[in-house]
Amino acid sequence: MLIILKTLLIFLLANFGNGIIAIKLLKIKCKSFALISLLGILSMAFLQTVLAFFFPLNFYVEIAFLIAGVVGLVLFLKEKDFTHFEFKKNINFWFYFFIVLIIFVGSFSPYLYDNYSYYVPTITLLKQVGFVKGISNLDLLLGQTSFWHIYLAGFSNLSDGFFKD
């Protein structure tokens, strides 16, 4: 449970901070915490995809994105524009029920076949060498790489180094 909490804090810091930087660069006027975080996920996944062609997505890439997230958070706090945190005032019982349910279900280990057939080898390969040209010719399962795999490979050292095995 502590690993999930640590992962959640790391991802919130990185996503929101990099989302703030992306909003500043693209000159988008957005006030929603969720949209800023989504923009951070999309911008980091795009940059990690480009970087994976030239470098492995190792610890140094992860630290660079975390530092960029901290810089974005400092930019946000420097402006003191706390209108991004406009939450609903009347959150009822069902909101908390589903939050607890999602955290509970997310703490289980994934299915063995799904996790070890392509997920862990793909992320390990991205972590060690980046994209490999023609890897699908050797093993078709390793060619199944999505933006989500690349995003998770970019943060796999600090979040969950054991991949819940």
CA dist., res. 61 & res. 92, Å (int): 40
Is the residue at 164 inside a domain? no
Is the residue at 79 inside a domain? yes
Is the residue at 165 inside a domain? no
**What is the per-residue pLDDT for 159?**
65
Q: What is the mean pLDDT of each run of 10 residues along the chain (165 residues)?
A: 76 90 89 87 91 86 91 85 59 83 79 62 76 72 74 74 50
**What is the per-residue pLDDT for 164?**
47
User: CA quadruple 94, 96, 102, 104: dihedral positive or negative?
Assistant: negative
Domain encompassing residue 6? 2-154
Is the residue at 150 inside a domain? yes
Is the residue at 159 inside a domain? no
Q: Please state the domain count of the chain.
A: 1
**What is the per-residue pLDDT for 162?**
57
The residue written with tokens 């923009």 in the block is 39
Is the residue at 160 inside a domain? no
User: CA quadruple 13, 14, 20, 21: dihedral positive or negative?
Assistant: positive
**Is the pTM higher than 0.95?**
no
Is the residue at 78 inside a domain? yes
The DSSP element (H or E) to which 71 belongs, if any, is helix 59-79
**What is the per-residue pLDDT for 94?**
82
Q: Answer yes or no: are the C-beta atoms of 151 and 51 closer than 8 Å.
A: no
Q: Answer yes or no: are the C-beta atoms of 56 and 151 closer than 8 Å.
A: no
Is the residue at 161 inside a domain? no
